[in-house]
Structure 1
Amino acid sequence: METLLLNADAVDDHSPMPAVVDAVRDAFAAHARGDAVMPPKSYVDLPQYGGDFRSMPAYLQTDDWDAAGLKWVNSHPENPRRHDLPTVMATMCYSDPETGFPLAIMDGTTLTTKRTGAAAAVATDRLAVRDASTLGLVGAGVQAGAQLDAILTVRPIETVVVADADAERARAFVETIGDRVDARVGSTPEAVACDVVSTTTPVREPIVDAEAVGDHTHVNAVGADAPGKHELADCLLMAATLVVDDREQCTHSGEINVPYAAGRLTDDDIHAELGAVVIGEATGRTDADGVTVFDSTGLAVQDVAAAHVVYERASAAGAGVSFDLLGR
């Protein structure tokens, strides 16, 4: 057997968003049913280089397939300035659960972008109003595009309002999506009044006020991925129906980490994990719900599920470069 090497273009070509959304939905269900093994994310801090590594291993089993893998990802904020390299780079090792054979080594950065958008789509499908047609994007980076691509698979979005601290970046992003939706640049209050909102910024002081959000808006809070990061006002979080991808991760480093650490938000304020909603153990949106919030930190089972999609499709297409990693 040979191992398949897949670069960013190959991963992108063989991860159609509808398939990734379906696979990530299956991953949340497996996690909720106990059909997954997902140790906590581990960190290797390197203060001498101003960065760190994070390892994210997982195994999951669905009715139709099982898969295992490990994502190895860094965060070195000084990379662009010092080394002309991205701040974050990820590599995915995708393995055969039965034998442990390394089936593929693939770019994990593109994979992460897509599975993050897919998770928001799964949450939007369960928590947003059925006829949601407007989407607000707070933050106009790479993840904003993934959010749009994914949410379009579950809701008939017609209008998109884009807000970003960098007005030029917001305008440039609007130009790239204008052929698919009616898109315009707006303020953050205008964006968060939409039916569905995705926030993808790295801020540490909340930029989304409760008063600005629509009465029945669903918010995908994606930006917070480390302690201290915080996009949504505490009063908004406490008043909303709050769903998390993983309680431990979210209370440590997700959108809710700041008010949770301060005791302003407790376990009783968390409605459910998304997997429980997916399998019907917890309710999704009801007629009585007002604002709903999904706190997305990103789970290793999502990476493995997305890698499964990529590997199966790339293998069938003869894509990538096969090589004898074991040298046998």
Structure 2
Amino acid sequence: MCNLIEALEAAFIAYDPNITEVPMRTGFTYDQPHNGLLEWMPLITHGYSATIKVVGYHPNNPRVHEIPTITSNISVYDISNGHLLGLMDGTFLTALRTGATSAVASRILASPQSKVVGIIGAGAQAVTQLHALSTQFNVERVLVCDVINMAATTFSQRTAFMNLPIEVVPSDERSRVVAEADILVTATSNDIGSGPVFEDTETKPWLHINAVGADFPGKIEVPYNLLRRAFVCPDFMAQAEREGECQQLESDEVGPQLYELARNPALYRAYQNKLTVFDSTGWAVEDAVAAQMMLDIAREYGIGQKVAIENLPHDPLNPYDFAS
């Protein structure tokens, strides 16, 4: 986790849109047999490689299929010839890079003295969010709530390796989570049109919110009036305006993107004593960094298998050559 946090921060600082091209993600949404979406997140670093993540979001998965809400795979290509360099799981990497990116944002915007983490939504994403924050802050208390009681009550088991005190707060008392937190994580699977997931209530003046659950038009977690009072930083502006918390705001009410903050963190230190929101919709740069880190680890330790997925015949002009 710590290595990924540092790698992401370095990538944000080095990001050049003239070299790295990141279109907005797109895909399919459907409601049969269950609500879900399947989308792809492409990125190309000109002169080097291309990365494409295919990710599915199906909130009924844990209950119906006993698999994660978010499932994914990532492929990396050599753009000198289009050859597939690596194909890997993206489910773990998506959770890992989302938590690590929130840690980068929190390191810039949250109070360095933050000790209380509040979590609304105690699923898989919440685990890596807390893990990442625990590497950057001296966390002394964790308040967690979820509309699904089982998710909240098992959270301490899933995060036991962090040795942090976890307090489960009833879902109908989530205002206490918001009021007592120094850093608040919202990582829910709320339905479109059902947000926000907490009321605009009293908070600490320096509260920092990592809002990671909004990923579709009409799906929000943070109250409108709170957003308007806060300094709001998106990960990817064009995408956040369409499907993140920023869809509630006008463009002039949104601050710089995270990569801009990472380049000049000193310019934004004053916000550590103010209300701030990181609008995390997921940026393909994060996936590319995580995928490259996994490829490097695989090469170094001999992990994985070399598989001839593509047909690469000895005679490049004969597609049937492989059968001869």
TM-score range, shorter chain: 0.7 to 0.9
1:40 shift after superposition: 1.9
Q: Does 1:214 align with 2:204?
A: yes
| Contact map agreement 1:209 1:236 (CA 8 A) in 2 | no
What do the CA deviations read for 1:233-264 (whole angstroms, capped 9, x no partner)? Answer: 1110000011111111111000232x2xxxxx
- Which sits farther off after the overlay, 75-84 or 239-248? 75-84
Report Cα offsets for 1:107-142 as digits up to 9, x if no partner: 111111111111111110110011212111111100
Partner of 1:243: 233
Structure 1 residues 77, 197: CA separation in 2 closer, same or farther (over 3 Å shift)? closer
Identity value in percent? 33
In 1, Cα distance between equivalents of 2:157 and 2:240? 34
How far apart are the structure 2 equivalents of 1:80 and 1:118? 24
Indicate if the aligned counterparts of 1:137 and 1:163 stay in contact, CA closer than 8 A.
yes
CA contact (8 A) 1:202 1:229 kept: no
Instruction: Quote the RMSD (CA, aligned, Å).
Output: 2.5
SS in 2 for 1:28: helix
2: CA distance, partners of 1:318 / 1:252: 41
Deviation string, structure 1 residues 282-312 (Cα, Å, up to 9, x no partner) = 8323168411000000011110110011110
1:89-128 residue pairs with structure 2 within 5 A?
A: 89-128=71-110
Aligned-partner Cα distance in 2 for 1:326–1:319: 20
Residue 194 of structure 1, CA deviation: 1.1
Asked if the contact 1:111–1:306 (Cα under 8 Å) also holds between the matched residues in 2, the reply is yes
Measure, in 2, the Cα distance between the counterparts of 1:233 and 1:81: 28
Runs of at least 5 residues in structure 1 that lack an aligned partner in the other structure: 1-16, 260-264
Aligned mates of 2:265, 2:159 — CA distance in 1: 37
Deviation of residue 167 (structure 1)? 2.6
Specify the alignment match of 1:197 in structure 2.
184
- The amino acid across from 2:151 in the alignment is R
Match runs of 1:63-74 below 5 Å: 67-74=49-56
Larger Rg: 2
Give the drift of 1:221.
0.5
Cα distance in 1 for residues equivalent to 2:18 and 2:117 = 33
Query: For the residues of structure 1 that align with 2:118 and 2:156, how far apart are their CA atoms?
Result: 12
Show CA shifts across 1:184-206 (max 9, x none): 11242222231111100123321
Secondary structure of 1:248's aligned partner: helix
- In 2, distance between residues paired with 1:152 and 1:188? 21
When the two structures are superposed, what TM-score results if normalisation uses the length of structure 1?
0.84
Q: Secondary structure of 1:210's match? A: coil
Partner of residue 7, structure 1: none
The question of whether the paired residues in 1 share the 8 Å contact of 2:108 and 2:272 is answered with no
Contact in 1 for aligned 2:105/2:278 (Cα 8 Å): yes
Residues 206 and 272, structure 2, Cα contact 8 Å, conserved in 1: no
Q: Distance in 2 between matches of 1:281 and 1:290?
A: 15
SS at match of 2:209: strand
Cα deviation, residue 101, structure 1: 2.6
CA shift at 1:183, angstroms? 1.6
The residue that corresponds to 1:301 in the other structure is 285
- Given that residues 108 and 265 in structure 2 are in contact (C-alpha distance below 8 angstroms), is that contact kept between their aligned partners in structure 1? no
- SS, match of residue 225 in structure 1: coil
CA distance in 2, matches of 1:46, 1:288: 41
Moved over 6 A (4+): 80-84
For 1:185, the aligned partner's letter is V
The correspondence for 1:188, drawn from 171, 174, 189, is 174
Report the counterpart of residue 3 of structure 2 in structure 1.
Answer: 19
Quote the residue 2:13 is aligned against.
29
Identify if the C-alpha distance between structure 1 residues 198 and 46 changes in structure 2 by more than 3 Å, giving closer, same or farther.
Answer: closer
CA separation of 1:178 and 1:213: change in aligned 2, threshold 3 A: farther
Q: Within 5 Å, which residues of 2 pair with 1:52-201?
A: 52-60=37-45, 67-76=49-58, 87-178=69-160, 180-186=163-169, 187-192=173-178, 193-201=180-188
Structure 2 distance, partners of 1:152, 1:85, is: 26
Deviation at 1:232, TM superposition (A): 1.1
Q: Confirm or deny: 8 A CA contact 1:91 1:109 kept in the other structure.
A: yes
The one-letter code matched in structure 1 to 2:127 is G
1:43 aligns with 2:60: no
Change (3 A) 1:80 1:241: closer
SS of structure 1 residue aligned to 2:288: helix
Structure 2 CA distance for aligned equivalents of residues 308 and 140 of structure 1? 28
TM-score, scaled relative to structure 2: 0.84
Identify the residue that residue 253 of structure 1 maps to in structure 2: 243
1:138–1:34: structure 2 CA closer, same or farther, 3 Å change rule?
Answer: farther
Shift of 1:66: 5.8
